[in-house]
């Protein structure tokens, strides 16, 4: 079994990977500030801290909701702790959405009836609760696009602050917007002659919920004011409190202003803040519930908290500087990297790992999709923010008892992690969800990354149950053929690409490789804790089915799924790529033959073409190319300039197969960061020298600091 010397690796990783003076981090970050000079719905700006985020339009607030929702990035205010459930008068239970499936001769209840009434209910519930929307009104009416000109807006990445300058009917309006560094608080300072005259006011209003029957980018429900309440329970000269109730969801909203102002209720759930002296409205809006209090902050202290939090993020983690690289693609690669680092901090650095669109907009009913969680979280380790990786893993430790109960109910040992879940940790019905398994080893791999950064007894004690119970499930799920003694995965199951009927999926290459790697890591954890090897784990490791192959012209090629032989048929394009995750996402292990992996990668890359490396496969392909020692191909993939691979001005990337839906598809950003982090920071058996995954053609002078190597 592979033994790694983690502490020396960590020490090496903390040394700059290229000689010379320290990186001017502020210069690197600030040269990628987002600058808007026109109304572009794809350039909405998200600010936040991982547990709270809001997205603003060119006014610095959120009044142009419909334009951005229909044409680009929705304008939302979200907190990881704010969730809502519609009433359940029929008394549905998750069992009502379940049906029996055959698992090697025994019946298991899986929640597969997603289109039943109970299935629809539990698929949609719970879902995140949209918090208040801030906007401007002009003469009592919403500000319109025709009222606006002279746009000059900047997101300062170094401080997380948005400055918006524009003309409203020819008169200047200057707005500064900041999100608190750790609490659900937004601070705003708006200045204009229109404010002084009372013509321009700030509006705060609250929707009932999301219209969740629409899976991606659902609009808010504004037209049901009787379904929820907003009570003004405290009014003071500089402070007001609003108590919000929407079904069983309750939270408070505190408004505090430091400029002369007054708050009035214009309609149910609709409040207006107007200046009573001077041309400035400076205020904060804080959202809280009993478990998530918010401090009393001013605009100034909120802006300071934002600056301090971002300064810590940018100075304490890893960073690369490509300013000395002469390859013409270097500038765009650096932009993609810096904006992705920013967006992952805003969207995924919280106590609950949200859906694949983060906190930017609702998708998949706001549920966490655990199969891609490794990509979302591993990059925090690579870029020197292990504390943020651990924040998300804490949720996995909290729901561990629920997952153990789920595994037991299905006749397995260990923990069965939900594929798609809200904050409650409950599985969501789906035709795909119950059959996905590549999420199950993720917590083992992520706990291993924590241990690499913090190789202490305390780390082992904190994560041992998560690792061991995950491994118990892996061993329990693998089915032993009594005739051969060999262990198999499936059927039924769905592999990564989800396109093959579950009854036809047996021993998919990546999942088998991940099972082997996860169990081997778990055995290492037992050894570190002074425990003997677990016999069943050892038996599964020794007798797990081989990775399936098919003959190729130059030698064997890895199949995606055992028995599905036609993927390499002559002339066939659009070859699936998930088998390549077995070397790339995973390190080289005894289960993988590197020569076969190389042949497979070459055939896939040649047949599919560069422009098929889209979405999170962009990061996937570059990870494999780098580990195979083919940095030129890795660079070609991460700098793919085709339209579907486009990083928007604010750094988000659309989901190519769903161009009108998930417009902030963050697996792209996170997988991209995993790849670039590996290329610059290295891996355990990487070639010696700095930035081993970058070409050595003299055009890629890489300066890197604080990156941690992958296994």
pLDDT recorded at residue 217: 85
Residue 144 per-residue DSSP state:
-
Please classify residue 198 by burial: count the beta carbons closer than 10 Å to its beta carbon, then call 0-12 exposed, 13-18 middle and 19+ buried.
Answer: exposed
Residue 94 per-residue DSSP state:
G
The three-class DSSP label of residue 297 is: coil
Number of H helices, E strands in the chain: 18, 29
Task: Tell me the C-alpha distance between 466 and 522, whole Å.
Answer: 10
Residue intervals of the chain classified under CATH 1.50.10.10 are: 332-705
Task: Tell me the C-alpha distance between 556 and 593, whole Å.
Answer: 10
Q: Which of 678, 517, 673 is nearest to 584 (CA)?
A: 678
pLDDT recorded at residue 4: 36
Residue intervals of the chain classified under CATH 2.70.98.10 are: 39-84+129-313
The CB-side HSE value for 384 (13 A sphere, CA atoms) comes to 22
pLDDT recorded at residue 213: 76
pLDDT recorded at residue 420: 97
pLDDT recorded at residue 6: 35
- Architecture of the 332-705 domain: Alpha/alpha barrel (1.50)
The DSSP-derived string for 218-273 is PPB--S-GGGEEEEEEEEETTEEEEEEEETTEEEEEEEEESSSEEEEEEETTEEEE
pLDDT recorded at residue 659: 60
Phi and psi of 385, rounded to 5°? -125, 60
Cα–Cα distance list, 498 to 215, 495, 503, 509, 612 (Å): 18, 5, 12, 14, 18
Please, what sign has the CA dihedral across residues 59, 65, 70, 74? positive
Give the position of tokens 């996402």.
585
Please classify residue 121 by burial: count the beta carbons closer than 10 Å to its beta carbon, then call 0-12 exposed, 13-18 middle and 19+ buried.
Answer: buried
**Mean pLDDT, the chain cut into blocks of 10 residues (711 residues total):** 36 44 97 98 97 98 95 96 97 96 96 96 96 97 97 98 98 98 98 98 98 84 97 96 98 98 97 98 98 97 98 98 98 98 98 95 94 96 98 98 98 98 96 96 98 98 98 98 97 96 97 98 98 98 98 97 94 91 97 98 95 94 98 98 95 83 93 98 96 97 97 98
pLDDT recorded at residue 80: 98
Task: Tell me the C-alpha distance between 547 and 304, whole Å.
Answer: 54
Task: Tell me the C-alpha distance between 519 and 276, whole Å.
Answer: 66
Cβ proximity of 203 and 137 under 8 Å: yes
The DSSP-derived string for 458-469 is HHHHHHHHHHHH
Burial of 514-532, coded b for 16+ CB within 10 Å and e otherwise, reads bbbbbbbbbbbbbeeeeee
257 Cβ partners below 8 Å, 6+ apart? 238, 239, 273, 281, 282, 283, 284
587 Cβ partners below 8 Å, 6+ apart? 517, 627, 683, 684, 685, 710, 711
Task: Tell me the C-alpha distance between 2 and 238, whole Å.
Answer: 63
Cβ proximity of 175 and 61 under 8 Å: yes
pLDDT recorded at residue 539: 98
Task: Tell me the C-alpha distance between 68 and 709, whole Å.
Answer: 39
Cβ proximity of 36 and 43 under 8 Å: yes
Task: Tell me the C-alpha distance between 205 and 265, whole Å.
Answer: 10
Q: What is the largest CA-CA distance in the chain?
A: 86
**For the packed helices 386-398 and 442-453, what is the interaxial angle rounded to 10 degrees?**
140
The DSSP-derived string for 492-556 is S-B-TT--S-GGG--S-HHHHHHHHHHHHHHHHHHHHTTPPPPHHHHHHHHHBPPPPEEEETTEE
Cβ proximity of 675 and 623 under 8 Å: yes
Q: Which of 621, 612, 609, 545 is nearest to 578 (CA)?
A: 621
Look at the chain and count its residues.
711
CA dihedral 606, 607, 613, 618 (to 10 degrees): -50
Q: What is the CA radius of gyration of the chain?
A: 26
pLDDT recorded at residue 16: 43
pLDDT recorded at residue 572: 80
Phi and psi of 522, rounded to 5°? -60, -40
pLDDT recorded at residue 108: 96
**CATH 1.10.3720.10 correct for 39-84+129-313:** no
User: What are the structure tokens assigned to 364, written together?
Assistant: 């998949």
Can you give the pTM of this predicted structure?
A: 0.96
List strands edge to edge, sheet with 270-275: 141-142, 133-138, 200-205, 270-275, 261-267
Task: Tell me the C-alpha distance between 243 and 230, whole Å.
Answer: 6
Q: Which of 32, 52, 648 is nearest to 348 (CA)?
A: 52
User: What are the structure tokens assigned to 301, written together?
Assistant: 């202290």
Cβ proximity of 445 and 432 under 8 Å: no
Task: Tell me the C-alpha distance between 366 and 398, whole Å.
Answer: 19
pLDDT recorded at residue 14: 39
Ramachandran quadrant class, 671 (left: phi over 0; alpha: psi -120 to 50; beta: rest): alpha
CA dihedral 661, 667, 670, 676 (to 10 degrees): -100
Q: Tell me how many degrees the CA angle 317-318-324 measures, rounded to the nearest 5.
A: 140
């Amino acid at each position: 079994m592979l033994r790694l010397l983690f502490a020396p690796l960590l020490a090496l990783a903390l040394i700059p990977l290229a000689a010379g003076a320290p990186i001017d981090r502020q210069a690197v970050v600030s040269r990628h500030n987002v600058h808007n000079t026109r109304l572009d719905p794809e350039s909405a700006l998200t600010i936040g801290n991982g547990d709270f985020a809001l997205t603003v339009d060119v006014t610095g607030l959120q009044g142009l909701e419909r334009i951005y929702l229909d044409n680009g990035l929705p304008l939302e205010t979200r907190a990881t702790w704010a969730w809502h459930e519609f009433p359940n008068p029929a008394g549905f239970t998750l069992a009502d959405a379940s049906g029996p499936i055959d698992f090697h001769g025994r019946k298991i209840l899986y929640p597969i009836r997603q289109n039943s009434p109970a299935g629809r209910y539990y698929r949609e519930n719970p879902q995140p609760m949209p918090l208040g929307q801030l906007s401007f009104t002009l003469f009592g009416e919403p500000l319109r696009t025709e009222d606006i000109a002279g746009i000059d807006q900047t997101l300062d990445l170094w401080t997380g602050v948005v400055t918006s300058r524009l003309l409203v009917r020819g008169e200047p309006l200057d707005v500064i917007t900041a999100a608190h560094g750790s609490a659900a608080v937004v601070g705003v300072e708006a200045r204009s002659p229109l404010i002084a005259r009372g013509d321009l006011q700030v509006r705060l209003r609250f929707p009932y919920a999301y219209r969740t029957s629409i899976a991606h980018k659902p609009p808010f429900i504004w037209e049901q004011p009787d379904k929820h309440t907003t009570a003004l329970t405290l009014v003071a000269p500089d402070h007001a409190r609003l108590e919000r109730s929407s079904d069983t969801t309750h939270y408070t909203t505190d408004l505090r202003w430091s400029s002369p102002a007054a708050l009035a209720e214009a309609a149910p759930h609709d409040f207006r803040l107007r200046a009573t002296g001077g041309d400035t409205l400076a205020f904060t809006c804080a959202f809280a519930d009993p478990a998530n209090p918010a401090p009393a902050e001013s605009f100034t202290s909120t802006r300071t908290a934002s600056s301090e939090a971002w300064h810590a993020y940018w100075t304490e983690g890893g960073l690369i500087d490509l300013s000395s690289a002469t390859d013409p693609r270097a500038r765009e690669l650096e932009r993609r990297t810096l904006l992705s680092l920013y967006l992952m901090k805003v969207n995924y650095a919280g106590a609950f790992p949200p859906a694949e669109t983060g906190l930017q907009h609702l998708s998949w009913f706001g549920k966490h999709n655990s199969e891609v969680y490794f990509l979302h979280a591993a990059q925090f380790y690579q870029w020197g923010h292990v504390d943020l990786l651990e924040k998300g893993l804490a949720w996995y430790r909290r729901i561990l008892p629920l997952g153990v109960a789920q595994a037991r109910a299905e006749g397995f040992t260990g923990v069965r992690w939900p594929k798609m879940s809200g904050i409650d940790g409950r599985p969501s019905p789906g035709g795909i969800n119950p059959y996905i398994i590549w999420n199950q080893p993720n917590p083992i791999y992520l706990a291993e990354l924590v241990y690499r950064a913090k190789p202490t007894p305390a780390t082992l004690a904190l994560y041992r149950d998560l690792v061991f119970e995950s491994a118990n499930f892996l061993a329990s799920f693998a089915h032993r053929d009594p005739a051969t003694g060999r262990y198999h995965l499936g059927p039924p199951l769905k592999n990564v690409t989800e396109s093959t009927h579950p009854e036809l999926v047996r021993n998919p290459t990546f999942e088998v490789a991940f099972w082997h790697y996860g169990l081997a890591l778990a055995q290492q954890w037992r050894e570190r804790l002074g425990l003997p090897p677990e016999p069943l784990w050892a038996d599964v490791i020794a007798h797990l089915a081989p990775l399936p192959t098919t003959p190729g012209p130059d030698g064997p090629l890895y199949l995606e799924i055992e028995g599905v032989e036609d993927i390499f048929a002559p002339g066939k394009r659009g070859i699936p790529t998930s088998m390549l995750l077995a070397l790339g996402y995973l390190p080289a292990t005894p289960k993988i033959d590197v020569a076969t992996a190389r042949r497979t990668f070459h055939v896939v890359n040649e047949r599919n073409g560069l422009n098929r490396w889209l979405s999170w496969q962009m990061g996937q392909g570059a990870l494999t190319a780098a580990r195979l020692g083919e940095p030129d191909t890795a660079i070609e993939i991460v700098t793919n300039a085709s339209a579907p691979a486009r990083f928007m001005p604010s750094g988000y990337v659309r989901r190519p197969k769903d161009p009108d839906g998930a417009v902030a598809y963050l697996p792209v950003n996170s997988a991209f960061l995993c790849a670039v982090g590996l290329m610059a920071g290295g891996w355990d058996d990487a070639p010696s020298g700095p930035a081993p995954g970058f070409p050595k053609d003299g055009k890629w002078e890489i300066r890197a600091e604080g990156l941690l190597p992958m296994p």
